[in-house]
Amino acid sequence: MLNILKNILVILIMLSISACGSYLKKTAEQPTEQGGSTGVFSQQIKPADTTSAAVLALIKKARSDAMAGKMDKAMLRLERAVRIEPANAAVWHYMAKLFLQQENYKQAAGYAAKSSSLARSNRTLIIDNWRIIAHARYRQGNLKAAQKAQDKINTLQQQ
């Protein structure tokens, strides 16, 4: 009985993830460098207008590094960016996605939570961060917590 419930939960999560049309499906099933890196710097989450030229330049470089499959370099550029703008929620979000790509789920969830703590009223960003957390928890085998994150996404989307 428990197993059946578990399977239903997994299917529900996967369905909801694909329904959102997010990068998550791509990263879960096709963790290719090219596909994944486009997802990391998706058009959906853009740095705030107040982002400095220095941080924008570093994000741009990180994007080309990620496109070339140089994930460590991309991460290093983003680390430089958060040192310059610690409260830039978008940068923390990109880092979370990079970790997700690298299948470092614990860090992906941590960075996504950090991004949300700085996102203030940016609902799109907060929802996308919850998607990362849901996916990371699902990949870690913590289905109950993944479902909780999914519920949070649903609530936020309804608001």
Partner 1 sequence: MVPWRYLFLTLILVFIGYGVYLDLRVQQQFDGKRWALPAKVYARPLELYTGLRLSENNLLRELKMLGFRNMDDLKHPGSYYVDGNEIVLTTRSFQFWDEKTNSSVIKISFDNNRISELYNFSQDKDIDVMRLEPVIIGGIYPAHKEDRLLVKFDEVPELLKSAITIVEDRNFYLHHGLDYKGIARAMWANLRAGKTVQGGSTLTQQLVKNFFLSNTRSLWRKANEAVMALLVEWHYDKQDIFEAYLNEIYLGQDKARAIHGFGLASHFYFDRALDDLELHQIVMLVALVKGPSYYSPRRYPQRLLKRRNLILDMLVEFGVVTQSEATAAKRKPLGIIISKPTSVSSHPAFLDLVKRQLKTFYREKDLASEGLQIFTTLDPLIQQQAERIIERKTRQLDRQQGLNGRLQAATIITNTTNSEVLALVGDSKPKQSGFNRALDAIRPVGSLIKPAIYLTALEVGQGYTPLTLIDDKVLHLKGPAGDVWSPRNYDKRTHGLVPFYQALSHSYNLATVHLGLKVGFENIQQTLQAMGIKRSIPAYPSMLLGAVNLSPYEVTQMYHSLASGGFNMPLSAIREVLALDGSPLKRFPLKVEQTLNIDSVMMINTILNNVTIEGTAKRMAAAFPADFVAAGKTGTTDDLRDSWFAGFTGQHLMVSWLGVDENKPTGLTGASGALKIWIDIMKNIPTQPIVFNSTDNVEYIAIDPDTNKHIDASCSNAVFLGVPRDALPESQSRCH
Binding site for partner 1 (CB under 8 A): 52-58, 72-73, 75-77, 79-80, 82-84, 86-87, 106-107, 110-111, 113-114, 117, 120
Alpha helices (runs of H) in 20-70, residue ranges in sequence order: 24-29, 33-40, 53-67
> How near is the Cβ of 6 to partner 1 at its closest, in Å?
25
- Nearer to partner 1 by Cβ, of 6 and 106: the residue is 106
94: helix, strand or coil: helix
- Nearer to partner 1 by Cβ, of 7 and 154: the residue is 154
> How near is the Cβ of 18 to partner 1 at its closest, in Å?
27
- Nearer to partner 1 by Cβ, of 11 and 57: the residue is 57
Residues 6+ apart with CB under 8 A from 13: 134, 138, 143, 146, 147, 150
Q: Do 35 and 26 touch, CB atoms closer than 8 A? A: yes
- Nearer to partner 1 by Cβ, of 3 and 159: the residue is 159
> How near is the Cβ of 65 to partner 1 at its closest, in Å?
8
What sign results for the dihedral spanned by CA atoms 107, 109, 111, 114?
negative
Residues 6+ apart with CB under 8 A from 138: 10, 13, 146
> How near is the Cβ of 35 to partner 1 at its closest, in Å?
23
